[in-house]
């Protein structure tokens, strides 16, 4: 007799594109709320690594031109991690 495995619905979003609203919320939570990546991940129902990677992407997008890397890190409130 075959039984089906019971699968639970994942609590994190998997393979879902980030919306601009989510990215803005992520930055706001970090910059103004001082939340850690894990806390932001819980708030947005994302994996902590997904939040870190998205921050890295946003940093690279903003760290071009005349803006100094240190200024971008300060803007994203990332000096401590």
Contact 56, 26 (CB under 8 A): no
CATH topology of domain 20-75: Arc Repressor Mutant, subunit A (1.10.10)
Q: Per the structure block, which two tokens stand in for 39? A: 């806390």
- pLDDT tens digit at each of 81 positions of the chain: 555 545 444 455 667 899 989 998 998 998 888 899 999 999 999 999 999 999 888 877 776 666 666 776 776 666 644
The domain limits of the chain are 20-75
The model's pTM is: 0.65
């Amino acid at each position: 007799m075959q039984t089906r495995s019971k699968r639970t619905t994942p609590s994190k979003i998997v393979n879902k594109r980030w919306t601009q609203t989510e990215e803005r919320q992520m930055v706001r939570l970090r910059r103004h709320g001082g939340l850690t990546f894990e806390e932001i991940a819980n708030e947005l129902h994302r994996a902590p690594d997904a939040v870190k990677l998205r921050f890295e992407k946003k940093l690279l997008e903003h760290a071009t031109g005349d803006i100094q890397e240190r200024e971008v890190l300060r803007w994203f409130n990332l000096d401590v991690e």
